[in-house]
Amino acid sequence: MKNIFKIYLWALFSIFLITACSPQEDDKYSLGDMATITADQISFTQTPSSSSSNVITFTNTTDIKGIYALNWDLGNGAGGKEKIIVGKFPFAGDYTVSLTIYTPDGSAVTKSQVINIANNDYSLINTPAYVNLTGGADDTDGKTWVFDQYNNFAKEVAAATGFNIKGHLGLGPQNSYGQEWWGAGANEKSTWTMYNFKFTFIQNGVKFNIQNLGEGYGRKASAESIGGFSVTNINGDDATFTFNGGNFTFALDESGTYPKLTLSGNSFMGYYCGSQDYDIIYQTDKVMALRVNNTVEGQDWVFVYCIEELNIEKPAVVKQPKAIPLAENFETGASSIILNKEDMGTKSGITDNPAPLPINESDKVYRYQKSAAFYSNLSFTAPTYIFDLTTQNKIRLKVYIPSYNDYTTQNGVAGDWISNKLLLPQLAIKLQNSSMGGNAWQTQTEIVKGNLQKDKWLELEFDFSGVADRKDYDKIVIQFGAEGHAGPGIFYFDDFSFSE
């Protein structure tokens, strides 16, 4: 390692001989005799700013001859390699400032000095992240956030981040920063008192206050073991426990890809997932989305909040039953029916017919690429009406099931409740109530055509006349290959219709 460092500095020395007018023009390196250095030779000065004693200029005053490189560590997370560096210390306390000098023989010598910052200067943290979170140093009351209870801003967050965000709270695979597995529908947790949580952040003093009704919620796997909460009830993976809110503090670290919000004590943002560290993946002055890495269960949890005054329930759209036939053969190269893709492969879409044989010799069909996501599907949602199933209850389409898919591998599954781990030669059609969001499956009607013949076009009919009395269905879900497992596959369909 020493030899490598010597070569590097010799090469650097050669460059300076060619390009530099004076050995002292560069602030990072000093040229002269090739010499070593001892700790007592290192020196630097510190000069407080006239505008704030919490802003200090550090200057290297080491007097040695030879090539050397500098590295500052200001003890506040900042550093640099220049001769002169400015450090900002918004919070009172002791900081260890270190200057390290590297010499051509591979030596690294460090001098450290502890500086004391007597008072806080919160104006130094007036970054966009702090201002959006707290209202800024001039807002003495701070800013109050609540859950985006009615999902008014979930789509905004999804569009801005590119992540799969479905609701105001939800979860997905670890490091996905999304809610692939589940996202809460509007007001879905109204049986809890979670929507009574109010989170207030105040910049001066980096104060954090939680108001609630004395009850907290979180993961069964970590609420007691990590959070130290007294669990009073368990329902599935959810735990309820005593929590009275209170006054805490917070910290922001803006050095990473996303600002990291860290809360003190056992405070949390409404639903506890084993950590007080939150990545701010989206933030404006009105909307904020936080991601928690649940390392205990290998999950990402994402929460969406808004300022209190924007948490308003939108007037319900009253959809009336209508019988509006739907049909699409894809021959124009575009679809008249808006098919929404959920976790589909990138090759999904209209394509050439892979087998123009009877009973389907048309040129264009739809290629359905199931991804490795657990719940790949296509869907259509009626924008302004619900399905009148008394007169319109048959869904028909032609399908082609390729034999080249892997139907034998045991794939990973979404959870213990998934018994099938195989990609299956099957098609499921579901009718759902879209207003239920991520819980639409709870009241759905599903018809499955299984063990379908491969390498041949088949014509299938899904008869929903048995639920003609339902007055809430407005969504059709098309799902090949079975759900809940990570097995990918390619399927084709054509001549879709929904009629009498």
Residue with tokens 């034998």: 408
Percent share of the chain, pLDDT over 70: 93
- What is the rounded distance in angstroms from the CA atom of residue 84 to the CA atom of residue 50? 17
Q: How confident is the model at residue 258 (pLDDT cuts 50, 70, 90)?
A: very high
Strand, helix or coil for residue 259: coil
What is the tens place of the pLDDT at every residue in 181-233?
A: 999 999 999 999 999 999 999 988 889 999 999 999 999 999 999 999 999 99
Q: Give residue-wise pLDDT tens across range 357-396.
A: 999 999 999 999 999 999 999 999 999 999 999 999 999 9
**322: DSSP letter:** E
pLDDT at position 75? 86
Instruction: Give all domains of the chain, ordered by start, each with its CATH number.
Output: 2-122 (2.60.40.10), 126-310 (2.40.128), 320-499 (2.60.120.260)
For residue 19, give the H/E element and its range: helix 2-19
User: Between the CA of residue 23 and those of 9, 15, 37, what are the distances in Å?
Assistant: 14, 11, 18
Percentage above 90 pLDDT, the chain? 75
Least confident piece of the model among 13-27, 83-97, 108-122: 13-27
What pLDDT, on a 0 to 100 scale, did the predictor assign at position 491?
98
Query: Do 203 and 248 form a contact (C-beta atoms < 8 A)?
Result: no
Query: How buried is residue 30: exposed, middle or buried, by Cβ count under 10 Å (0-12/13-18/19+)?
Result: buried
pLDDT in tens, 53-94: 999 999 999 988 777 888 999 987 778 888 998 888 988 899
Q: What is the mean pLDDT of residues 328-346?
A: 91
Backbone torsion region of residue 285, taken as left when φ is above 0, otherwise alpha when ψ lies between -120 and 50, otherwise beta: alpha
- pLDDT value at position 35? 55
What average pLDDT does the structure give for the chain?
A: 90
pLDDT band at residue 38 using 50, 70 and 90 as cut-offs: confident
Cα 460 to Cα 395: distance, rounded to the nearest angstrom: 8
C-alpha span between 169 and 304 (Å, rounded) = 6
The two structure tokens encoding residue 282: 């989206």
C-alpha distances out from residue 14 to 17, 23, 28, 484, Å: 5, 11, 15, 62
